[in-house]
Structure 1
């Protein structure tokens, strides 16, 4: 298995379904919400997630929120985090993973 991969399209909802569900996704997952999901794709810039309980949503945790000493979670890993943004242009729910939180 390669270190990086795009999400398997068979795991993703159809793009028109994601578009139609976007207002409900944003309403269901307001900023600050805590979510969990499974890593379905790894890229050098972050990981794509299928979010638990929100079947027509795609989450994305980008490395800009990852501390330098951490690594991306493995494909298939279950992760949790906080909703930090809704990217309207590509219908992604941006997530900061709990494992990436820097103790204050």
Structure 2
């Protein structure tokens, strides 16, 4: 319904979210925080890839829901928790460089 421009905008937003997650993971000094941020960003990227690939017919369809676009309780809550964790890690990484370490 959104057309090519709308679909491209949605994929660009997903790519931006994943890229910011990777950037936050690389910026944080804590090894656990680094692995957590990169893993959460990878989970988001994998979900988008599997759903987009299934809809376009490149790979078989699965039962996964598209992040933030599918209606449902647990999927939406889980994806918002992932975003919240990425924001917290990004804030922690930014605090390390500003000299205002937050714990």
TM range (shorter): under 0.3
Instruction: Tell me the TM-score normalized by structure 2.
Output: 0.26
Q: Looking at secondary structure, tell me which structure has more strand per residue.
A: 1
Larger Rg belongs to: 2
Instruction: Tell me the TM-score normalized by structure 1.
Output: 0.25
